[in-house]
Amino acid sequence: MRIEGGEGQGREAAVSKDLRLLTEAIAFSPIQMAALTNRAYALSTGVISITGVTESGLLYIRNDDPSRTLLLPELTLNVGKCTGGPGDQLFQLYYLTSVSGGTLISGASLASLVSLNVGSPTPPKVTVYKGVYAATVIGGVVRRSPIIQDAVTLQIPLDLVMPAGSQIAVTVTANASTSAMKVAVAARFSMLDAGV
Amino acid sequence: MDIAIVNATGGGKFGAKVDEDNRLFTLSVAQGQTAAISLNKQQVYAWETGVIAVVGGVLTSILWLRNDDPSGILLIKRIGMSWNGGNTNRNRTVNAVMYVGSTEPVANHVAFVGGNLFLGSSNQSTLVKAYRWDTVGAGGMTHVTPGSPGARTLTSIGLWLIDYDGALIVPFGQAVSFSGMAEEDGKISLQITGWMQSV
């Protein structure tokens, strides 16, 4: 069975010379379709005060759902004005291969997590923790090292696919002599049936 | 048996419409190529230098990639470069250059494998040969032939993203490298995201 072009024969769908079926498509984005099916979420650490130059764990995400894969297209980094030191900060994204410890995880301070389909009663099986200044991340491999100026909001594309059990952590290290800076990390993500 | 899809507007409750230009009306979820390839094939990778210190006024080769897959092409999705603006002034620039056709480095280099964006996947980007500067010396990796400048950007403090969306293609046997010349001593990190596609 094959689809044959019908151009020139009335209202039959055409197939072009390069063998493409011509369509007039309404395209939904994956995040919108996920929201329509109660599988899209927003998370945020809220504002975290950085008061020195020690590396600080800001955000921890772990997919706990054995039947769904977490898609994390990007992170939004919000950085306030930096006082006392130069205005560039090093953010680092860690891929964690095991729960190795550190106070970011043991502190277990929940980050905010809401459904993008407002009022949806079904929370995702995902763990999200927020950190504090000098919260530690132990273990893992650094995979991204963006350097961000201060007083800026920036979306960083990640295109991460996180199957069940996978986890990441985000840290920030303020530059030398920094005495005060506020940061917040936010993201949107969706949950897709594993294997799809 | 050939099937022709015929407009059914008015001819049935669930018939598909075909308009006067012979286009079938559809409703679709458009997933980006990066996410689709990562989900379905687990073959989207990121190659990163990590944070490295560079010396001002010295052209420094920091990352080199070559496609060694005779049956595939490397499609570059995105180049991301961070620069701290210089250790002293924080408002200086770096002149970043992508070279095409640079030869494999012969000194001051270290081999590495790109990370898979499908976390936990056992797939590795071993068919893309990758080196980054080992931070020995002050001039980056040594290439016998540096290649031809393919793109340049003058970058100030912060993270800069250049999205090629897969339109930058590295065929089998071809190599690209990335260098920067900073106005003063500073810190750089560079990341390349891409995937392999069969030819």
Per-residue pLDDT tens digits for B150-169? 888 888 899 999 999 999 99
Whether the per-residue pLDDT at A99 is higher than 70: the answer is no
Mutate to test the interface with B, among A19, A24, A29 (most CBs of B within 10 A): A24
Q: Which residue from A51, A43, A90 is spatially nearest to B157, judged by alpha carbons?
A: A90
The answer to whether A149 contacts chain B (CB < 8 Å) is yes
Give me the pLDDT at residue B32, please.
87
**Least confident interval from A1-10, A146-155, B112-121, B139-148:** A1-10
Pairing of strands A23-28, B44-48: unpaired
> Given this model, what pLDDT does residue A25 score?
86
A31 shares contact with chain B (CB less than 8 Å): no
Residues of chain A with Cβ-Cβ distance to B120 below 8 Å are 97, 163, 165-166
In terms of Cα–Cα distance, which of B40, B24, B23 is closest to B32? B40
Tell me how far CA of residue A78 lies from CA of A48, A65, A111, A128, B195, in angstroms: 10, 29, 15, 18, 29
Average pLDDT, chain A: 89
Nearest Cα to Cα of residue B39 among B113, B121, B124: B121
Tokens of A114: 């809401």
Residue A166 phi, psi (nearest 5): -80, 155
* Spatial contact of A145 and B51, defined as CB atoms under 8 Å apart: yes
The verdict on residue B76 lying in a domain is yes
Q: How far is B182 from chain A (nearest CA, A)?
A: 15
Q: How far apart are CA B112 and CA B51, in angstroms?
A: 15
User: Domain for residue B4, yes or no?
Assistant: no
- Amino acid, res. A129: Y
Identity of the residue numbered A18: D
Chain B partners within 8 Å of A146 (Cβ): 80, 82, 159, 189
Whether B39 sits inside 8 A of A192 (CB atoms) is yes
- Domain containing residue B105: CATH number: 2.60.120
What pLDDT sits at residue A17?
A: 81
User: What pLDDT score does A92 carry?
Assistant: 84
- How confident is residue B100, by pLDDT bands cut at 50, 70 and 90? very high
pLDDT confidence tier of residue A84, bands split at 50, 70 and 90: confident
Residue B73 falls inside a structural domain: yes
Q: What is the largest CA-CA distance in chain A?
A: 75
Is residue B88 scored above 80 in pLDDT? Answer: yes
Element (H, E) at A154: strand A152-162
B22 in any annotated domain: no
User: Across the interface, which of B34, B38, B189 has its CB nearest the CB of A145?
Assistant: B189
With b for 16 or more beta-carbon neighbours within 10 A and e for fewer, the A132-160 pattern comes to bbebbbbebebbbbbbbbbebebebebbb
Domains, chain A, ordered by start: 40-193 (2.60.120.510)
Question: Is the CB of A84 inside 8 Å of chain B's CB atoms?
Answer: no
Nearest to B30 among A4, A27, A69 (CB): A27
Percentage of chain A modeled with pLDDT above 70: 94
Q: How far B23 CA lies from chain A's nearest CA (Å)?
A: 4
Q: What is the pLDDT of residue B13?
A: 64
Backbone angles phi, psi at A33, to 5 degrees: -65, -35
**Within a domain: residue B33?**
no
Number of independent structural domains in chain B: 1
Looking at the domain assignment, is residue B130 inside a domain? yes
Task: Indicate the SS3 state at residue B99.
Answer: strand
Enumerate the residues of chain B whose CB falls inside 8 A of the CB of residue A148. Answer: 82, 158-159
Task: Specify the pTM.
Answer: 0.86
Strand locations in A116-180, DSSP E?
126-130, 141-144, 147-149, 152-162, 167-173
Per-residue confidence (pLDDT) for residue A98, from 0 to 100: 64
Enclosing H/E stretch for B133:
strand B128-133
Q: What is the per-residue pLDDT across B27-73, written as a single tens digit (0 to 9) for each?
A: 888 888 899 999 999 999 999 999 999 999 999 999 999 999 999 99
Among chain A residues, the shortest Cα distance to B28 is held by A27
Q: Report yes or no on B116 lying in a domain.
A: yes
**Cα separation, A127 vs A113, whole angstroms:** 9
Q: What is the mean pLDDT of residues A101-113?
A: 94
Tell me the C-alpha distance between B13 and B79, whole Å: 49
Q: Which of B159, B164, B165 to mutate to test the interface with A (most CBs of A within 10 A)?
A: B159
Is the pLDDT at A85 greater than 60? The verdict is yes
Residue B165 at interface with chain A, using a CB cutoff of 8 Å: no
Assess if residue B60 is contained within a domain.
yes
Report which of residues B56 and A95 the model is more confident about: B56
- Complex-level ipTM: 0.82
- Other beta carbons less than 10 A from residue B184's beta carbon: 18
Check B4 against A152: CB less than 8 A apart.
Answer: no
Q: What residue numbers bound the domain in which B68 lies?
A: 43-198
Whole-number pLDDT of residue B21: 84
Give CA angle at A108 (A178, A177), nearest 5°. 5
